[in-house]
């Protein structure tokens, strides 16, 4: 088998890159470890930055998003019983789109199917070879036999535990990591959202987030110990704890019901440098992880896709290598800014085990300053709707 660009990972980042390249006449093959059904069942992020929305349009897969997505022009922040709104539209002239990651992935799969492009699922033992040589290739087990895929470039969109980053010599890369001492217990329920926009809550009992997928499907999260298991939390226990963390005015509007999904996600930050080694480029979670507090995980992957797609197009159309040479530096410059935003939001809204009385008062002062200061709100809004590429 041979292709121009081999993409390891059939999640939204890999599929979006493949779709953008296809529209420019660049051949791709996508290799995915899991089944298609497994990929589509993942319950993940749902807040799309302005830049991500534009890329969906550029990729020709925005029709369902435009019809079913929910435009959000702001978000609410609560601390105690104080609630204030950050008006994205007024402060930046932009908005975000609420549209689930699984729906993005579904749209991209359907576009790939319609174009008759090759996507291989349930690929085992994927291994990149000769990544710093002239002829890189990938070996993998699929359909009961070993296969070889020759290519010009290998793109690792295969997540934190994938084989692509592991193929880079350890002495050639450096990882930066911070692990937070808590997780998020998340619940998905077929109930109307408590508010028409996202609500971020700082309470003395810990963080809570009120989100949604649509008008009849809500997602809620509460900060919890890392040692907890979803089985430790009945639905009644979750709703009772959520109510303790919401302002009173929202508790009166909260509609509860059976959960249809429940999980606990740890919070951490991780950045790998560099994001290129020879003919292999890392993209998305393969190179960086951010806490979900700032809604930057999927969106940071999308900015990688933007830089990488543009660089590959310049290579194939103009024999211009500058974009490929500059990819890692350009991507990392934006990644670190998003990592800062996620770190700041996490510190602003969560309770930490080691916080002193002084630390708590400083956290409250920071929230009060944000409440009262338009310049501070504008900085938050600019980061939330998405920094420019």
Q: What is the mean pLDDT of residues 161-188?
A: 96
What pLDDT digit, counting tens, does each position of 50-87 carry? 999 999 999 999 999 999 999 999 999 999 889 999 99
> Which pair of tokens denotes residue 125?
């033992």
What pLDDT digit, counting tens, does each position of 242-264 carry? 999 999 999 999 999 999 999 99
User: What pLDDT does 81 receive?
Assistant: 83
Q: Where do you find CATH 3.50.50.60 in the chain?
A: 2-74+94-178+267-348
Residue 215 — very low, low, confident or very high, per pLDDT cuts 50/70/90? Answer: confident
Report how far residue 41's alpha carbon sits from residue 47's, in angstroms, rounded to the nearest whole number: 17
Would you identify the CATH topology of the domain 182-262+361-385? D-Amino Acid Oxidase; Chain A, domain 2 (3.30.9)
Q: What is the mean pLDDT of residues 104-114?
A: 95
Report how far residue 256's alpha carbon sits from residue 235's, in angstroms, rounded to the nearest whole number: 9
Q: What are the start-end ranges of the H helices in the chain?
A: 12-22, 36-41, 50-58, 63-68, 88-92, 101-114, 163-166, 235-245, 248-251, 297-318, 322-349, 357-372, 374-385
pLDDT at position 43 over 80? no
Q: What is the mean pLDDT of residues 19-27?
A: 97
HSE value, Cβ hemisphere, 13 Å, CA-based, for 357: 0
Residue 118 — very low, low, confident or very high, per pLDDT cuts 50/70/90? Answer: confident
User: What pLDDT does 348 receive?
Assistant: 97
Bridge-partner residues for 273, per DSSP? 174
Residue whose C-alpha is closest to residue 17's, from 306, 262, 230: 306
Q: Where do you find CATH 3.30.9.10 in the chain?
A: 182-262+361-385
User: What pLDDT does 366 receive?
Assistant: 97
Residue 373 CB contacts under 8 Å (≥ 6 apart), including other chains: none
Report how far residue 136's alpha carbon sits from residue 159's, in angstroms, rounded to the nearest whole number: 20
- Three-state DSSP at 195 gives coil
Architecture of domain 2-74+94-178+267-348: 3-Layer(bba) Sandwich (3.50)
User: What pLDDT does 46 receive?
Assistant: 86
Residues catalogued as catalytic: 72, 200, 292, 296, 384
> Which pair of tokens denotes residue 260?
């249809």
Residue whose C-alpha is closest to residue 214's, from 193, 200, 194: 193
Average pLDDT of every residue of the chain: 96
Instruction: Yes or no: say if 147 and 189 are a contact pair by the CB < 8 Å rule.
Output: no
User: What pLDDT does 214 receive?
Assistant: 85
pTM metric for this prediction: 0.94
What pLDDT digit, counting tens, does each position of 132-153 carry? 998 999 999 999 999 999 999 9
């Amino acid at each position: 088998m041979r292709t121009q660009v081999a993409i390891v990972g059939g999640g939204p980042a890999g599929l979006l890159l493949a779709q953008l390249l296809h529209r420019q006449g660049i051949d791709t093959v996508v290799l995915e470890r899991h089944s298609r059904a497994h990929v589509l069942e993942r319950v993940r992020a749902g807040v799309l930055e302005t830049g991500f929305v534009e890329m969906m349009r550029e990729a020709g897969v925005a029709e369902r998003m435009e019809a079913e997505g929910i435009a959000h022009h702001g978000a609410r922040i609560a601390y105690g019983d104080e609630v204030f709104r950050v008006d994205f539209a007024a402060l930046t002239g932009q908005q975000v789109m609420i549209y689930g990651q699984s729906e993005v992935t579904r749209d991209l799969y359907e576009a790939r199917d319609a174009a008759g492009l090759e996507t291989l699922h349930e690929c085992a033992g994927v291994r990149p070879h000769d990544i710093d040589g002239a002829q890189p290739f990938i070996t993998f087990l699929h359909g009961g036999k070993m296969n070889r895929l020759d290519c010009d470039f290998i793109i690792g969109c295969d997540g934190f535990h994938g084989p692509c980053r592991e193929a880079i010599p350890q002495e050639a890369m450096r990882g930066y990591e911070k692990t937070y001492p808590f997780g998020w217990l998340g619940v998905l329920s077929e109930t109307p959202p408590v508010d028409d926009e996202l609500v971020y809550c700082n309470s003395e009992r810990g963080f809570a987030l009120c989100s949604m997928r649509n008008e009849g499907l809500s997602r809620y999260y509460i900060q919890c110990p890392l040692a907890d298991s979803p089985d430790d939390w009945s639905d009644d226990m979750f709703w009772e704890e959520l109510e303790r963390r919401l302002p009173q005015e929202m508790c009166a509007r909260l509609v509860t019901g059976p959960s249809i999904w429940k999980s606990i996600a740890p919070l951490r930050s991780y950045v790998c440098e560099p994001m290129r080694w020879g003919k292999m480029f890392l993209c998305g979670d393969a190179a960086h992880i951010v806490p979900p507090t700032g809604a930057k995980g999927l969106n940071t992957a999308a900015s990688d896709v933007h830089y990488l797609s543009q660089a590959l197009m310049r290579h194939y159309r103009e024999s211009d290598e500058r974009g490929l040479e500059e990819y890692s530096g350009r991507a990392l410059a934006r990644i670190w800014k998003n990592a800062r935003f996620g770190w700041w939001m996490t510190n602003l809204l969560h309770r930490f085990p080691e916080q002193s009385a002084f630390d708590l008062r400083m956290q409250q002062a920071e929230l009060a300053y944000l409440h009262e200061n338009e310049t501070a709100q504008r900085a938050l809004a600019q980061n939330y709707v998405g920094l420019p590429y």
